[in-house]
Amino acid sequence: MTDQTETFSDKLLGFTIPARNARGKAVRLDRAIDEILAAHDYPPAITHLLAEALVLATLIGGLLKDESGQLTMQAQTEGGVVRLLVCDYRNGQLRGYVDFDRERLTELGANPPLSALFGKGYLAITFDMAGGEGRYQGIVPLEGETLAEACEAYFGQSEQIPTLIRVAARAGENGCMAGGLLVQHLPDGEEGRERLHARMDHPEWEHVVALAGSTRHEELIDPALSLEALVWRLFHEEEEVRVQPGAPIARGCRCSAEHYEQIIARFPEEDRADMRDENGMIVIDCAFCSKVFEIEA
């Protein structure tokens, strides 16, 4: 590994293990997650769920080669306690919110499993390429113990890319800390989307899984452990590990009065008339920021 400024929190770290045809991302979110949570008043179970989802959105969004592309992760249910969870990531900007039934959540107790929160639901992962150049969406059922497992299933089923994901989150009096690691197998340097011979039991991938799978939760959320040191701990026996410091991560939303004015201006006057309230204003709320905008249109 080369000598450089180390990566601790609110930044992505990319790495590759060339001899194993593996690539990965690591991230730890600290301030970014507190800023996102500050717009809401979520109980601990929802805070924890959203923290994990934000880490996943960052890890997966970080795979986008194009900086203006966007990754959207959406978990939706039919009659679940969590009705909707949305996170998106674009060039280091991260946002997310959860729509849930507060009363029914209370009935579930302190640490409800994913199945209790979502019931019957699905996870949609959407990659929007820059400048409207394409959109890829994969949908998998929300099964397994964690959101991370559902994301692993997405990569296995929709992309045929063997993927290991570990996520940890901890919320305390001083705010929330969450971190994660994603590792993928791309044999023969294959980076395209057509993958006819992907194998989950490839020996070099099994080796990487054995190493990456030893990641401990505490390591992911230890603010004193740099992500480079974490990657080094896991893979130091490999002949070469290359790291690429990535984008800083911060809370980011596109909502603004000007933004909504522009959108509303595109509607015909007849539609705008229907949108106006008794005071002649069009009221729009941003669920990500819990903010209400009154547009005079």
Residue (of 127, 213, 120) closest to 162 by Cα position: 213
Q: Is 116 in the site for Zn ion (CB under 5 A)?
A: no
The stretch near Zn ion (CB under 5 A) out of 5-13, 64-72, 134-142, 248-256 is: 248-256
Q: Is 286 in the site for Zn ion (CB under 5 A)?
A: yes
- Tell which phi-psi region holds residue 10, choosing left (phi > 0), alpha (psi between -120 and 50) or beta: left
Positive or negative torsion for Cα 136, 22, 243, 11: positive
Distance separating alpha carbons of residues 176 and 12, to the nearest angstrom:
17
Q: Which amino acid is at 281?
A: M
Residue 56, classed as helix, strand or coil, is helix
- Looking at 253, 282, 284, 295, which residue binds Zn ion (CB under 5 A)? 253
Task: Output 114 or 253, the one with its CB closest to Zn ion.
Answer: 253
Distance separating alpha carbons of residues 261 and 277, to the nearest angstrom:
16
- Looking at 15, 205, 288, 293, which residue binds Zn ion (CB under 5 A)? 288
Residues 85/122, Cβ–Cβ less than 8 Å: no
The CB-of-180 to Zn ion minimum distance in angstroms stands at 24
Residues 53/246, Cβ–Cβ less than 8 Å: no
- Looking at 275, 281, 289, 297, which residue binds Zn ion (CB under 5 A)? 289
Residues 272/297, Cβ–Cβ less than 8 Å: yes
What would the two tokens of residue 212 be? 């990456």
The stretch near Zn ion (CB under 5 A) out of 50-58, 67-75, 196-204, 279-287 is: 279-287
Q: Is 255 in the site for Zn ion (CB under 5 A)?
A: yes
Task: Output 37 or 212, the one with its CB closest to Zn ion.
Answer: 37
Residue (of 188, 141, 179) closest to 161 by Cα position: 188
Report 198-237 residues binding Zn ion (CB under 5 A).
none
The stretch near Zn ion (CB under 5 A) out of 29-37, 145-153, 154-162, 287-295 is: 287-295
Task: Output 40 or 272, the one with its CB closest to Zn ion.
Answer: 40
Within 10 angstroms of residue 38's Cβ, the number of other Cβ atoms is 12
The stretch near Zn ion (CB under 5 A) out of 22-30, 80-88, 178-186, 286-294 is: 286-294
The CB-of-89 to Zn ion minimum distance in angstroms stands at 15
Task: Output 214 or 290, the one with its CB closest to Zn ion.
Answer: 290
Residue 221, classed as helix, strand or coil, is coil
The CB-of-290 to Zn ion minimum distance in angstroms stands at 8
Number of residues this chain uses to bind Zn ion (CB under 5 A): 5
The stretch near Zn ion (CB under 5 A) out of 26-34, 61-69, 145-153, 278-286 is: 278-286
What would the two tokens of residue 176 be? 């929330």
Name the site residues for Zn ion (rule: CB under 5 A).
253, 255, 286, 288-289
